[in-house]
Structure 1
Amino acid sequence: MKKAIFRWLAGLGLLAGALAASATQSVPGVTPNAIVLGQSVVLSGPMAEVGRQYAKGVALAIAESNRKGGIHGRQLDLQTLDDAYDPQRAESNTRQLIEERQVFALFGYAGTGATIAGQALAEKVGVPLIAPLTGSDALREKPAANLFFLRASYGDEMDRIVEHQATLGINRIALVYQDDPFGRAARRSFEEAMHRQRLAPVAIASVDPQAIDVAPALAEIGRSQPMAIVLGTTGKVSAVLLKGLGQGGQRPSIFGLSVLSPALLRSELKSGVGGIVMSQVVPSPWNTKYAIVRQYRAALAASANPADIHHALIEGYIAGRVLIEGLRRAGKEPTRAGLVSALGGLHKFDLGDFIVDYGNRRHAGSSLVELSILRHDGSFAN
């Protein structure tokens, strides 16, 4: 009789274990040993530098977490696809990640167009999309429940840039932007920031980011004789523009957003980068007074794939740490809804002298904006 009871109890235990395993496997992207995540990001083409560095930072945080045992015993498996800064490819990648690879969540997209394309699919099926590298204010105006931003918006960056110039008495300001979803978002943010300072742009010119013919934009800007030029550009477009400005004898003050691609500028312009002012949405990766910077530098030193220190790389690392905290709080049997709830519960969360707060209607984790100046040798002065 006792043996029968023991066999019955053992059977119940096996059944409970099987049911728990079955429940885990019914959640897409979650297995007993892994959580599978998906990323579409620009890794090739003229806009690739920031995307590659961001992806490296994300991978750095995930590798660090996996070395420490993962999330409740599960390793993180990030599957990354290149979209070459093409929204249509980003949409195709997203469909593949959700429908074929059955990822648990989407993470670390780069670019406004890619984020819009990925979000449209993700929202339909309730897949979280976390920490896209875009500052689009339009995406933040009508926040979706599944979409979480880490970085400050382009509006935040433009406000800081324009306010700084107004304080210095610089009032003849022009904008050059690339004619794509990112550039148009930057233009809108610039115009709104100028309006708040009761200023009017002396010129606004656009550049086709594929053809990169900057001559018409340079001619239009030159006629306006600005005191400062704000760049709503990234990648190769920025380098070609700045080369053209130098050749034309023009060199008013130059301001750029955090996605300006400083490493590419250094390689293309050499010492000509000196004096360019950039907004930054994360602490300087050289400023070790921040605990998160010390943690990032330690992770970089311990990495099997060391990389150069870079603002976009530390941004990717911070984004990865936010994802990891959300997954940890989602519990031992995570669900997509549980991850959304866990991230929404991050209120004034101190990641190491960097505060993440999703207690706002825009799901915007940070509004930090600092200004830094590129020196002639390519280093930064804050």
Structure 2
Amino acid sequence: MPGRRSLALALCCTLGVALSSLSLPARSQSGGIVVGQSAVLSGPQAANGLLYARGIKLYVDSVNAAGGIAGKPVRLVTLDDGYDPERCKENTRRLLEQDKVVALFGYTGTGPTAACSPLAEAARVPLLAPLTGAPELREQAGRYLFHVRASYVDEMKKMVEYLTTVGVRDIGVVYQDDGFGRSGLKSAEAVLAGYQLKPAVVGTVAAKTYDPAQAVADVGAKAPGAIILATAGQASVNFIRAYLKSGKRAQFFGLSVVSSNQLLKELGPDTDGVVISQVVPSPWSRTTQIVREFQRDAEAAKDVEVNHTTLEGYIAARVLVEGLRRAGPEPTAEKLTQALENMRQLNLGGYEVGFAPGQRAGSRYVDLSLVRSNGRYVQ
């Protein structure tokens, strides 16, 4: 459950195929509508992927239990890519060529999504709701890539707005040296420039090994008041742990993909005071309809961890199902694409998503939350 004090007060006190158009209806598996997902379900970056996939499955299961869409169940084919862009491409080719999916959906990570979006574009199959906020994927998106979440630029604007408001201007940036991290660094630099600032220091966490030693040495030498983390999963854990062990202190700000649950499990009390930008409402608050429905379905399922990432997956699945319903009783990739393009203002009960021709960023919702070591979030 979240804390009752305001976030501002708590923060002041405390100072993540080249295929032709698929114009035929989605292949039927026992009358089902086939949707394909490649996600990171194993390895050091798996925390977010597992939670996101579980939130997606939660809503898809509830839809199928109620009779599916026009009497047809949604058949979600989920494959593990281990956060490897090449494996993601192999999975995507299989989903397109063998499974004949009507949509690619719920991919995880900047690198895998960037590698696979050209395949979706060539096949003319929508790739909906990837778990990434990389601005490059929005700026360079073609017709078939649809984002449900806010971008990393939106998230960092919220962070820097808060920090400058309370007088903190020495802001360092730590990033993991891969496509996601470099995109996060670029976003941080752009946002800081809007406030006539530059990063006080930049630290790099090694790719694949997520060794934080160099980042700790570089950032520790400057000891900034706040550190924006363009890291996720094990990279986030490793840096925070090593930085605190060095005797240095700072206010850590993590993106929504920082993997807060993993931080809590592995760092325990050292998680206290980490600030995370969130792209969905608090999953513990019952003030919005979408959260109440999520909580209801999660309670019925009994095996769903209630957190921001599972809620985000649940919301993404709501958008997918609405698009499939609008695509008609025999959905095709093209019909679904058109349905999404015409989804100008979808109110899911306190969370709005909207697309249009040329507009593929469905939401800019961002809030900040403060993590407590007891698992509470002040949001």
TM-score (norm 2): 0.92
- CA distance in structure 1 between the aligned counterparts of 2:228 and 2:83, rounded to whole angstroms: 22
Q: CA deviation at 1:59?
A: 0.4
What is the Cα-based RMSD across aligned positions, in Å?
1.4
Which has the larger Rg? 1
Matched with 2:9 is none
Question: Residue 269 of structure 2 aligns to a residue in which SS?
Answer: helix
Q: Provide Cα deviations, 1:193-215, integer angstroms capped at 9, x if missing partner.
A: 00011111111111113122211
Greater RCO (Cα-Cα under 8 Å, separation 6 or more): 2
Change (3 A) 1:25 1:188: closer
- CA distance in structure 2 between the aligned counterparts of 1:145 and 1:280, rounded to whole angstroms: 27
Structure 1: runs of 5 or more not aligned:
1-23
Q: Which moved more, 1:344-353 or 1:278-287?
A: 344-353
Q: CA deviation at 1:376?
A: 2.1
- CA distance in structure 1 between the aligned counterparts of 2:309 and 2:329, rounded to whole angstroms: 31
Structure 2: runs of 5 or more not aligned:
1-21
- CA distance in structure 2 between the aligned counterparts of 1:325 and 1:360, rounded to whole angstroms: 18
2:42 is the counterpart of 1:67: no
Question: Residue 98 of structure 1 aligns to a residue in which SS?
Answer: helix
Contact 2:83 2:109 in 1 (8 A): yes
Change (3 A) 1:25 1:247: closer
Matched with 1:324 is 321
Contact 1:25 1:32 in 2 (8 A): no
Question: Aligned runs of 1:109-120 on 2, under 5 Å?
Answer: 109-120=107-118
Please identify which structure carries the higher helix content.
Answer: 1
Q: CA deviation at 1:120?
A: 1.3
Change (3 A) 1:149 1:301: same
Contact 1:292 1:353 in 2 (8 A): yes
Question: Aligned runs of 1:353-372 on 2, under 5 Å?
Answer: 353-359=350-356, 361-372=358-369
Matched with 1:9 is none
Which amino acid letter does the alignment assign opposite residue 378 of structure 2? Answer: A
Equivalent of 2:303, from 303, 306, 315? 306
- CA distance in structure 2 between the aligned counterparts of 1:209 and 1:279, rounded to whole angstroms: 23
Tell me the matched-pair count.
358
Matched with 1:173 is 171
Contact 2:298 2:304 in 1 (8 A): yes
Which amino acid letter does the alignment assign opposite residue 129 of structure 2? Answer: A
Q: Provide Cα deviations, 1:126-147, integer angstroms capped at 9, x if missing partner.
A: 1111000010101101321111
TM-score (norm 1): 0.91
Moved beyond 4 Å, runs of 4+: none
Question: Residue 77 of structure 2 aligns to a residue in which SS?
Answer: strand
Q: CA deviation at 1:353?
A: 0.8
- CA distance in structure 2 between the aligned counterparts of 1:230 and 1:356, rounded to whole angstroms: 27
Q: CA deviation at 1:269?
A: 0.9
Q: Provide Cα deviations, 1:79-108, integer angstroms capped at 9, x if missing partner.
A: 000000011110111011111221111000
Q: Provide Cα deviations, 1:291-316, integer angstroms capped at 9, x if missing partner.
A: 0000001111222x522111110000
Question: Residue 278 of structure 1 aligns to a residue in which SS?
Answer: strand
- CA distance in structure 2 between the aligned counterparts of 1:331 and 1:28, rounded to whole angstroms: 12
Contact 1:94 1:121 in 2 (8 A): yes
Q: CA deviation at 1:246?
A: 1.2
Q: Provide Cα deviations, 1:308-362, integer angstroms capped at 9, x if missing partner.
A: 1111100000000000000001111212111011111111211011111113733
- CA distance in structure 1 between the aligned counterparts of 2:23 and 2:225, rounded to whole angstroms: 60
- CA distance in structure 2 between the aligned counterparts of 1:77 and 1:31, rounded to whole angstroms: 8
